[in-house]
């Protein structure tokens, strides 16, 4: 199992283990170290989630700050208490933001950023190495399946799409890879049917409480890829 696939798999499901994952961990000290770092991060997040925030904190801070004190010691005490409460509040809000808020409000913007970030990991010359059975095993999480791969599929694995677990597919295109993301419908991210920048273009589809996003360069017939997806995908009830 290559390093990229291993890291993406562990980030998506830190506790997931199968024979391939166990073999990769056992044979590579770098992967063992990565898992240790990931476990440490998970523990820190777990600890941060349990930081207590005083009840009715905002009202108490406002009330405390309205009282004027002419005694130096009381003033210092008030400042210390306010700082401590503010730190607790900021940490609580930060954890909440990291866990539940969306960095992007537009599916197209995030899809383009995701493709640009991982562009160096894929080449249009990569050989197809994903079987239909393997693809549909991953598609089962989204209650869907394909009757064929309708192209040369060079990559299929789970990834994080702005906080949501998604399935990332990479196909050989005419001149560069075509990326397809399958993810749960999320009201926090605005759905947009068509999007583009100076190099990439994309389309979004909505099926069965799932969004499917296609991204390719300006030379790719994205509309044809959209039709292929629609023609070859089946959703379970």
CB contact at 8 A, 213 and 186: no
Tell me the fold of 107-235: Phosphorylase Kinase; domain 1 (3.30.200)
The whole-chain average pLDDT of the chain stands at: 80
Instruction: Supply the pTM of this predicted model.
Output: 0.58
> CA 30 to CA 39: how far, in whole Å?
14
The tens digit of pLDDT for each residue in 70-102 reads 556 666 666 666 676 666 555 554 444 333 344
Among all chains, which residue has been given the structure tokens 């700050």? 65
Better-scored residue on pLDDT, 230 or 209: 230
Among all chains, which residue has been given the structure tokens 């190495």? 129
> CA 105 to CA 23: how far, in whole Å?
39
Q: In whole angstroms, what separates CA 80 from the centre of its chain?
A: 38
Determine the average pLDDT of the residues in 99-108: 61
């Amino acid at each position: 199992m290559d390093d990229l696939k291993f890291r993406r798999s562990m980030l998506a499901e830190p506790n997931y283990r199968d024979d391939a994952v166990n073999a990769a961990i056992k044979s590579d000290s770098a992967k063992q170290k990565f898992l240790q770092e990931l476990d440490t991060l998970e523990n820190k997040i777990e600890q941060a989630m349990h930081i207590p925030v005083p009840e009715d904190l905002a009202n108490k801070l406002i009330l405390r700050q309205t009282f004027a004190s002419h005694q130096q010691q009381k003033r210092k005490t008030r400042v210390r208490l306010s700082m401590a409460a503010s730190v607790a509040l900021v940490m609580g809000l930060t954890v909440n933001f990291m866990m539940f808020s969306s960095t992007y409000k537009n599916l197209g913007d995030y899809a383009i950023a995701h493709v640009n970030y991982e562009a160096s990991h894929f080449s249009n010359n990569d050989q197809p190495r994903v079987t239909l059975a393997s693809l549909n095993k991953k598609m089962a999480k989204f209650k869907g399946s394909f009757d064929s791969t309708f192209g040369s599929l060079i990559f299929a694995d789970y990834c994080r799409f702005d906080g949501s677990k998604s399935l990332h597919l990479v196909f050989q295109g005419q001149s560069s890879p075509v990326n397809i993301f399958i993810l749960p419908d999320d009201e926090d991210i605005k759905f947009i049917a068509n999007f583009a920048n100076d190099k990439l273009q994309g389309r979004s589809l909505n099926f069965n409480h799932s969004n499917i996003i296609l991204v390719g360069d300006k030379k790719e017939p994205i509309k044809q890829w959209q039709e292929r997806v629609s023609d070859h995908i089946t959703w379970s009830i």
